[in-house]
Amino acid sequence: MISQMKPDALERFTTGVQDPNAAVPVDSGSPPMTAGEFLNESMRACNCYIIPGINLNQYDQGTFFTTAQALLALPVYPKMTYLSLDKWHDFSNNHTSDQVKSMFQKLYSQGWAGIGVNANGGYFPTYGYATFTDFRINPTNWQPDTANLAAATSEPNIKLALLYIDFPKPMDSFAALSPDQEAQVLTDNVASAQSSDGFYFVYPIVQTFWDSNNQTTSPGGPYQGETIYSLMLQLMQQYN
């Protein structure tokens, strides 16, 4: 699928510590593969790079910076240089501005080139340190949350905004739609709005409970029995 999609980046493709020597599941009859091999082959398939995710809950657990440093040292090529922070809302609410600034400063001192925050819980200042942000779709009307986008990009240091459907609550609501409705949201509300509204859409491909390959539109409907995965491939090309 990565070879077909040719994405710009595999954003939040991993979360937390990675063991490059761990075995990954493969189809029956396929040769064994380690996690490191899988990550490298994934990037070769798209000629792109991985943006790993890391949970800020690890900050108070004392493992946050060791995890970040280990990601930089992973034997993957190109090397991971951009980091996406999860639980930004909780961290911002429970830590002082000095702690927030110190957290960013230490990450940059490790060698990270850019750091993103997750604005699903609303905007919180990054004090000039974050370089990109994830923001949300509004599941009541399935439009990009422009207020969330405006707040999240109010800092001039944030140069890139990434729209997500698959934050937990919106994704649950999206998965409850019919495939025809899912297709309409993607076509009319999301993909076509990217260039005019100044964001990029992070396409949801597979979840543990939802697979775009298994979402088939109605044969007699406007999408003529196409799968959501096939539709997303077309949208990626159209709005590249």
Q: What per-residue confidence (pLDDT) applies to 131?
A: 97
Q: What per-residue confidence (pLDDT) applies to 83?
A: 98
Q: What per-residue confidence (pLDDT) applies to 9?
A: 94
User: Mean pLDDT across the stretch 220-234?
Assistant: 97
- pLDDT of 198 > 90? The answer is no
What CA–CA distance (Å, rounded) separates 182 from 166?
13
pLDDT tens digit sequence for 135-178: 989 999 999 988 888 988 899 999 999 999 988 889 999 999 99
Predicted TM-score of the model (pTM): 0.92
Q: What per-residue confidence (pLDDT) applies to 208?
A: 87
User: Is residue 28, in this structure, part of any structural domain at all?
Assistant: no
- pLDDT of 121 > 80? The answer is no
> H-type helices in 117-165, by residue range?
146-152
Q: Compute CA distances 202 → 35, 190, 209, whole Å.
A: 23, 10, 18
Residues in the chain: 240
User: Mean pLDDT across the stretch 62-82?
Assistant: 97
User: Mean pLDDT across the stretch 97-114?
Assistant: 98
User: Is residue 238, in this structure, part of any structural domain at all?
Assistant: no
Q: Which helix (H) or strand (E) holds 229?
A: helix 228-238
User: Mean pLDDT across the stretch 48-76?
Assistant: 97
pLDDT tens digit sequence for 36-51: 999 999 999 999 999 9
User: Is residue 237, in this structure, part of any structural domain at all?
Assistant: no
What CA–CA distance (Å, rounded) separates 84 from 201?
15
User: Is residue 103, in this structure, part of any structural domain at all?
Assistant: yes
User: Is residue 80, in this structure, part of any structural domain at all?
Assistant: yes
The enclosing domain of 42 has a CATH number of 3.20.20
> How many domains does the chain fold into?
1
In terms of C-beta distances under 8 Å and separation of at least 24 residues, what long-range contacts does 28-37 make, across chains too? 36/74, 36/75, 36/76
- Bond into 222 cis (ω within 30): no
- pLDDT of 80 > 90? The answer is yes
Cα 6 to chain centroid, rounded: 15
User: Is residue 90, in this structure, part of any structural domain at all?
Assistant: yes
Please say whether the beta carbons of 76 and 33 come within 8 A.
no
What CA–CA distance (Å, rounded) separates 154 from 58?
27
Domain ranges, residue 180:
2-20+35-222
User: Is residue 151, in this structure, part of any structural domain at all?
Assistant: yes
B/e letters for 151-163, b = 16+ CB within 10 Å, e = fewer, are: bbbebeebebbbb
User: Is residue 29, in this structure, part of any structural domain at all?
Assistant: no
